[in-house]
Amino acid sequence: MPEAPPTVLLIGTLDTKGAEYAFVRDLLHAAGVATIVVDCGTAGAPFFAPDITAHAVAAAADAELSALTAAGDRGAAVSTMTRGATIIASQLYADGRIHGLLALGGSGGTSIASAAARALPIGLPKLIVSTMAASDTRSLIGESDLMLAASVVDVAGLNSVSRRIFANAAAAMAGMVTAPALPAEEGRPLLAASMFGVTTPCVTQAREQLEAAGYEVLTFHMTGTGGRSMESLIAGGFIRGVLDTTPTELCDELVGGVLSAGPDRLTAAGRAGIPQAVSLGALDMVNFGPRDTVPAKFEGRNLYVHNDQITLLRTTPDECAALGREVAEKLSAASGPTALFIPLKGISMIATEGGPFHDPAADAALFGAVREHLGPNVELIELELDVNDPAFSKAMADWLHAAVQAAAR
């Protein structure tokens, strides 16, 4: 028998976006891709008959579609259909029935489809054409690999612009779900590493050393989303050890920068009990956008324009003391092997002697708070090196390799 074609899940509101969904559905079919269409509309009859009705979506969330429609509360309806669509998408994936997700929508449709997409595993193709793609998309993407494409015009009918954009999305999804499978990985143990531009040399050298020792190293850019993604994969049990050189997102959470990963940063490895080699990389900086977006209350502070889009604020001694205590207390709660490496000669590329963020008083406050609050379960290793010195990264990589090997015995 011929092999069944890959199947794309289409999640949308067929009462208001039905013509658009029929358009991409037909393009996918023409490309040899099957579809499962899930209707999440609550305001009227669908434009065409879906594979999974809005009644079924509401029922999956323990609700009645007629009650949602009668109530006339759009927010409550979207929340309910979001829950139902997420449950259905997860079950379809668990049953091996879908190989990708595609959606089109405004804010409501994007909210529903993005929640379903976030419930699907990393690596499964997920694409939403959305009016929200040029806004703050952190809540839509979360820690997933969801791709957003700007709709340019509203998702409100078919015209010369929207047809081209929707056709591109359908072609992209067809290409992703029909692409040849990648060769099987070698089964190397997975490690996670945190990196920022100012700690890149450290992480690059350590990653190369660890890869040569037989590991696969996943490097995460500490932009808020990067830290949340790393913590999520650790919590999910995918990671065997962590090279957390750069917990810089703690600064943004404390001071109010734009790249916070939330209050749970630096906790997943400790809870999972896996080895973690941690340093203090880039705790000298809080991130903001372009220079003119820095809040007025920080005027007069040590600000450094990293590029046209990023302005850095040097952390003060008081802020560094708070950060040092937070790092120490979070690591002290760890249930697995943990080491904290202090680079006494500089915690970032721009915090070494002569650099714009060189601040011995702030460093002393950071290091002092770490020493004062660190528990006996954490191995403290202080080196007269800066964080990007090859000897420093080698020391961290050596420790992590030994700890992971010991934990595997």
Q: Residue 135 in contact with residue 106, Cβ under 8 Å? A: no
| Region of residue 155 (left: phi > 0; alpha: psi -120 to 50; beta: else) | beta
Q: Report the helix count and the strand count for the chain, using DSSP H and E.
A: 14, 14
Q: How far apart (Å, rounded) are the C-alpha atoms in residues 409 and 404?
A: 9
Q: pTM of this prediction?
A: 0.77
pLDDT over 80 (residue 182): no
- Looking at the DSSP bridge assignments, the partners of residue 242 are 192, 276
Residue 244 corresponds to which amino acid?
D
Dihedral angle, C-alpha 256, 261, 264, 267, nearest 10 °: -120
> Which long-range contacts (C-beta less than 8 Å, at least 24 apart) are formed by 381-384?
381/339, 381/340, 381/341, 381/342, 382/341, 382/342, 382/344, 383/341, 383/342, 383/343, 383/344, 384/344, 384/345
In the DSSP assignment, the letter for residue 220 is E
Q: Residue 365 in contact with residue 373, Cβ under 8 Å? A: no
Q: Architecture of domain 190-408 in CATH?
A: 3-Layer(aba) Sandwich (3.40)
Q: How far apart (Å, rounded) are the C-alpha atoms in residues 134 and 367?
A: 41
Reported as a pLDDT band with limits 50, 70 and 90, residue 184 is low
Domain ranges of the chain: 7-178, 190-408
Predicted confidence (pLDDT) per residue in 56-105, tens digit: 999 999 999 999 999 988 899 999 999 999 999 999 999 999 999 999 99
What's the chain's Rg over C-alpha atoms?
24
pLDDT over 60 (residue 341): yes
- Report the chain's terminal Cα–Cα distance, integer Å: 47
Range 7-13 average pLDDT: 97
Per-residue confidence (pLDDT) for residue 144, from 0 to 100: 85
| Residue 350 DSSP SS3 | coil
Q: Specify the fold of 7-178.
A: Rossmann fold (3.40.50)
Percent of the chain at pLDDT exceeding 70: 99
Residue by residue, DSSP assigns 269-328 as HHHHT--EEEE-TTTTEEEESSGGGS-GGGTTS-EEE-SSS-EEEEPPHHHHHHHHHHHH
Token pair in block for residue 117: 């997409």
Same fold, 7-178 and 190-408: yes
Predicted confidence (pLDDT) per residue in 298-322, tens digit: 999 999 998 889 999 999 999 999 9
